[in-house]
Each structure stands twice: as C-alpha cells, then as structure tokens.
C-alpha cells in the first residue's frame, strides 16, 4: 500500500486524480543499502516497447499526469519517483547523489522491466536519462529529452548547504508563493499554473525527510555538464523543446542537437519549459511517432 499525503484528496483535475490512484510501491533491492528501497511508480501494461518517464528536480511522477494517459494508448508506460524525490522513500543512510539515483534506476529497471526501453527525461530528468543511457546503453533503445538539463556545471549552492543555511534554503523552496512563482515561470500559458498544478507540485513535500533528501542531493553537487560525453552517445535521440522556455532558454536545444550524433530536434510552439504539461497531445504524438521509427 502507498501512504499518500492527505492533501492528495484535494486534487481536482481528472488526470491528477487518475494518476495518483494508480501509484504502486515495490521494494527495490540495490547495492546502495542492505534494505530494499520502497519505490513508487505507475505502470499500465499494454503492448509495445516500454516507455519510462523521469520527472524533474524537486518533483514527482505526477508531473506526467497529462502525458501518461496519452502514451498508454500505444505503449506500455511507466513513470517512477527517482531516488530522493517524489513519494519514493528517503532512507537516511543514502546521499541521493546522481550516482545513487542512477544505480537505483538501473535496479528498478532490472527488477521490473529488464528489456530495452524508450527513456524519457524532462528537465533534470533529462540529465538523469543522459547519465543512465551513457552508463547502461544496453537498457535504452531510444532516448527522448524534454527541455533537458545537462550542459551546465553544478551550481556552487551545494558548497553552502550547511546548517542553518541548508534548512533556510529548503524552507524557502517550500514556501507556496515561491513555488507558485516557479510554476508560473515554467508555463507559457500562465493560466495552467492553477491550484491543481500547484498541489501536484507540492504533495511530495509532505513526505518524511523531504527537506533532508533535497539537502543531501544538493550537497552531492547534483548534475553537471555532459558536454564531453555526448559525442559518444550512440542511442537514437529525440530532443523536444518548448519554443518559449523561460527556465533554460532555447540556446541549449541546438547545442544538444549538435553534440548528440544520432539526434533530431523538434520544437513545440506556444509552450514553455514543460511541453508534457502544457502541450501533452503534441508531446505524446512526437514521442509515439519517434517510437515507431
């Protein structure tokens, strides 16, 4: 059973309600800990190559609430909460570094899927997807990057994450007004940053050790630049980018296309940093078309 925050009952959008009702939790045994890690995910087991969706920074699988139901019409689709994020349990003996996130993701794949996947990563999830694919190319049939991170060096913020500054930082990020401002910046159509969207973006903050997990990830340095490794990426890659991205801008879209040998770039019009939320139908069509090539 998955123990979800009580505020989940306040969700109003049908896609949010449907997705949260599908959340499962499995114990994933990894080399990271003698104890298995309770890991939350959703999956609809239809035919086709498995599609696995990876959310962004300080987010959860609910980020794919509008995209998920469109993908399951054609493919087996998974979305999971990465280690240290979402509703996956934050065990106190882990640092939640990119290395540990990648290892946990590999053993999730090995335990529950164990065949080549179409890996889809959005924002920080794009950096996670790149890291995973570069390390485990045999597990990834095709790669989809949605406005991904992965071309900049880690921020110096991690060096400053010591008490009490670390808790001040997470208290700042947990402020509803701050989160609403971030949410609005991610959208081209600001009306989509509504109360349901804000609740979806904040539910996981009510999980045990959210603050400690975010601090641990930030102290690890987070994801840096994959610029040197990208020319070695052999996996066929689709880059999807919102034409009006105000979070990462648009210059990196062309850089990713130039650096990844077997890649194609497609733009989503009238869209900010989150095409999977703002233009889910277009995004799904592009992913499904790419999966069939």
Annotated catalytic sites, by residue? 123, 245, 273
Q: Give per-residue burial for 210-236: e unless 16+ CB within 10 Å, then b.
A: bbbbbbbbbbbbbbbebeeebeebebb
Number of neighbours of residue 198 by Cβ within 10 angstroms: 16
Cα separation values, 247 from 183, 186, 226, Å = 10, 6, 19
Cα separation values, 131 from 4, 228, 238, Å = 30, 12, 16
Query: Are the C-beta atoms of residues 214 and 58 closer than 8 Å to each other?
Result: yes
Q: Is 82 exposed, middle or buried (0-12, 13-18, 19+ CB in 10 A)?
A: buried
Both tokens of 178, joined, read: 């701050």
**In the chain, how many H helices and how many E strands?**
11, 8
Helix (H) or strand (E) holding 199: helix 195-202
Helix (H) or strand (E) holding 49: none
């Amino acid at each position: 059973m998955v123990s979800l925050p009580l505020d989940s009952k306040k969700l109003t959008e049908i896609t949010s309600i449907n997705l949260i009702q599908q959340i499962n939790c499995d114990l994933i045994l990894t080399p990271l800990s003698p104890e298995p890690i309770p890991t939350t995910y959703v999956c609809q087991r239809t035919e086709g190559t498995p599609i696995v969706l990876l959310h962004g920074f300080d987010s959860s699988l609910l980020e794919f609430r509008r995209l998920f139901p469109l993908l399951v019409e054609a493919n087996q689709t998974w979305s999971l909460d990465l280690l240290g994020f979402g509703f996956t349990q934050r065990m106190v003996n882990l640092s939640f570094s990119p290395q540990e996130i990648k290892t946990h993701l590999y053993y999730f794949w090995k335990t529950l899927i164990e065949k080549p996947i179409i890996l889809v990563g959005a924002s920080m999830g794009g950096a996670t997807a790149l890291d995973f694919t570069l390390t485990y190319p045999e597990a990834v049939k095709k790669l989809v990057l949605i406005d991904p991170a992965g071309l900049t060096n880690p921020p110096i913020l991690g060096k400053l994450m010591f008490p009490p500054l670390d808790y001040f930082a997470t208290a700042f990020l947990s402020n509803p007004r701050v989160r609403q401002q971030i949410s609005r910046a991610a959208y081209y159509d600001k009306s989509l940053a509504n109360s349901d969207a804000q609740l979806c973006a904040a539910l996981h903050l009510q999980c045990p050790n959210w603050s400690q997990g975010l601090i641990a990830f930030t102290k690890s340095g987070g994801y840096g630049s994959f610029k040197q490794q990208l020319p070695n990426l052999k996996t066929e890659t689709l880059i999807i980018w919102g034409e009006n991205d105000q979070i990462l801008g648009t210059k990196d879209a062309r850089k990713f296309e130039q650096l990844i040998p077997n890649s194609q770039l497609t733009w989503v019009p009238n869209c900010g940093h989150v095409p999977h939320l703002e233009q889910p139908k277009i995004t799904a069509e592009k992913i499904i078309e790419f999966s069939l090539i």
